[in-house]
Structure 1
Amino acid sequence: MATLFDATERVLLLTGANGGIGRTIVEHHLEAGGSVAGLDFFATPPPPSRPDLEWIACDVTDESMIAQAVAATLARFGRIDAVVHAAGAVGQGPLVEVAKADWDRLIAVNLTSAFLIAKHVQPHLAATRGALVFLSSTNGRNGGSHLSGPAYAAAKAGVLNLNRYLAKEWAPLGVRVNAVAPGPVRTPMLDRLGDDGIAALARSMPTGALTEPEEIAAAVAFLLSPHARSMTGTVLNPSGGLVLD
């Protein structure tokens, strides 16, 4: 995988690190010479740790666990230069079929977690004049559909406005805040659709293809890099044409 910038001595804290997009971002940052603290539930075992990689079990909806994960990152690496919030979960079905408990869970996983991670990394990113990238979705821009459900769409829209808010609030601190809002990405999150459903989804894309995780990792790397030093409050749109800016 080609790297967009030299990440030597740069420490990335990443939520959702064991997901399809998350693991690709981890690999990209390590390949660029950086170190990574990867946070996740780890429902499946993470790959082996190495000197430049720390896996941290964390429920991103639990503020005390977020605080502990940030402290563990600082204890291991001494600094935080970049944060990527890629943790997320999808729902499904029309609104009238969504239980309140499922609504609450999806808002917590997708939106409240973004607030929590931002709250606890802010002073450390200010110390390094670092950058934060949120993973949102086209669902947060075009209203989504029953494939991911109303809570997911509402939460991902909230992430986009949190991105804009923090970009303004943190600019005087020298911290940039941006977002990436992908369309369907070829990861295990789509497995719930089955092979026929995934194929139909790909055919429905204006480009005729799903986005690959490597494309999202490259977009994130660009936003974290010096090449994007004038960009804050931006939403990148690797959506395969589902959203036209």
Structure 2
Amino acid sequence: MTSPTAATDHGIALTERAIVAVRAAPHRLVLDYNRFAGPWVDGQPEPVPAELLAGAVFPSGRPLPPSLRRWLAYDSSLLRRSGWFRPAEGPSRSWEFAPLPLGELAAAALGEGWGAPFGALSERFDECFLLPGGSDSRRVLATGEPDAYGEYPVFALDVDDLPCIELMYPGLDVYLADTAGVIGRSDNGYSALAGDPRYSRRMLTHARHYLAGELHAVCLDWPE
């Protein structure tokens, strides 16, 4: 059962709203506080070829969420810069997804020292992708059990105090819309959307699937 909110607040419809906002200024920075994240679109939009996108799945065999299919039909440059695709071995683009287990992704994004505690969660979060966002923190989409909209959650990895993982968005659809300025979001912590009537049901569904009903988990399993 889906959340009793407007259909345009979820899934493909919400992703379309994000695309409309990006099309209005495709070369503006993704993050106004971090120019190194780059623009939404590099040059002209470069979609994934339709014939490849039609049959695409993740390396695990899990299906792509509807929001990702729609976004990649518009442009791939944002996610390519974030390491979603393997580097090309020749003159042609590579469209092969390149996920990492959480521990490896955290080590690459945060450094070996700060990333190490997340290694204990790699079995649970075995297929992850980095997204732009954060300064001392990072944003990570993790595949696994989808919600009622077919979407996978986006987590914040934070090492400002104790290393922790916290549910931040119920899907790539909401991440894109929030980052593009399409939806309003309070600043009351990473998991603020758990208290938003539009997204609370989806957030709590992911909390049950991924974090035993909690919205965050502290990672203190430092390797020897």
Shorter-chain TM range is 0.3 to 0.5
Query: What's the TM-score once normalised by structure 1's chain length?
Result: 0.30
Higher helix share goes to which structure?
1
When normalised by structure 2's length, the TM-score is 0.32
